[in-house]
Amino acid sequence: MVYSSPDALDFQLADCPALPAPQRALLTTPAYFDVAYVINPHMEGHAGTVNKDVAWQQWKALRATYTALDFEPLVLDGVEGLPDMVFCANQTLPYRRPNGTRGVVLSRMHAPQRADEVAHYADFLGRHGYEVTPLPDAVDSDFEGMGDAIWHPNRYLLWGGYGFRTDRAAYEALAELLDVRVLALRLHDPDFYHLDTCFSVLSEDTVLIYPDAFDAASCDLIHALFANVLEAPGHEARELFACNAHCPDGTHVIIQEGCTGTNARLSAAGFVPVPVDTSEFLKSGGSVFCMKQMLF
């Protein structure tokens, strides 16, 4: 079942099966990272401006941050000709079914420039023992993995953004494929083209969002299921990708440096901001959340 507004809700969080937190981080090296085309507004004007050396240093610092938080990352090498492959949240949606089966649903990238990334993740994750599940052939929808589909912490319940990259119909297919409830959120500002640019789950009852990225019914849905909704200031959300932060453990929030207003709100709510610099990756419209994939 796919839900789009609070009036449609016929369940409570407690009715959703428990979902253990994913314990494995996957990172992809920026060996061939670049801004080579423009498929989101943030990439505009940045073609050819990536400092490869700085990008590597920032990526290594991010890897070290996950290691320091006890999530030693699994690392996949980037592939020549696929400059966005470093954004490893997008090619798959990892899942753990209530019966314990662990796998990934493969994305269907909206941008043709990114289509070939998916097979590399299918191979790699298949070799690491994950069940690899394509969307059924009959489904004719784009789907960009965890860029748009995000698990509710601790619950077998999926949040799904649509409007720019993923089609809403993809969630009907996923709801059936994974036998899961999906809460569909409509995005309407091109700067926030993926759900993970404006929605960062922190704990079972707390989320960090940029409200203007959503239509009214979607905002209401978020408020219906999270007791605490923190809001990032506009400048930090738009320019610094504050809502692309990632909280891997319910406490620490890895976030682009400079998000002072957001950090104050996080700290006041009991979270611990862990700033990192992803400035080279912001040129491509991505930051922390897009640069890792959490595997069950």
Give the binding site for ligand ARG (CB under 6 A). Answer: 39-40, 43, 84, 87, 89-90, 114, 147, 194, 196-197, 284-286, 290
Residue 128 CB, nearest approach to ligand ARG (Å): 21
Q: Quick check: is 290 catalytic? A: yes
For ligand ARG, the closer of residues 16 and 40 by Cβ is: 40
Catalytic residue among 243, 247, 259, 290: 290
Q: How many CB atoms lie within 10 A of CB 94?
A: 22
Q: In what order do the strands lie in the sheet with 206-209?
A: 199-203, 206-209, 228-231
Catalytic residue among 42, 120, 194, 252: 194
Q: Quick check: is 194 catalytic? A: yes
For ligand ARG, the closer of residues 73 and 285 by Cβ is: 285
Distance CA 28, CA 291 (A): 7
Q: How many CB atoms lie within 10 A of CB 85?
A: 26
Q: Which DSSP string corresponds to 155-180? A: BSEEEEEESSSS-HHHHHHHHHHTT-
Distance CA 231, CA 233 (A): 7
At 217, list the tokens: 């019914």
Distance CA 123, CA 120 (A): 5
Residue 227 CB, nearest approach to ligand ARG (Å): 26
For ligand ARG, the closer of residues 39 and 187 by Cβ is: 39
Residue 148 CB, nearest approach to ligand ARG (Å): 8
Residue 22 CB, nearest approach to ligand ARG (Å): 16
Residues designated as active site: 194, 290
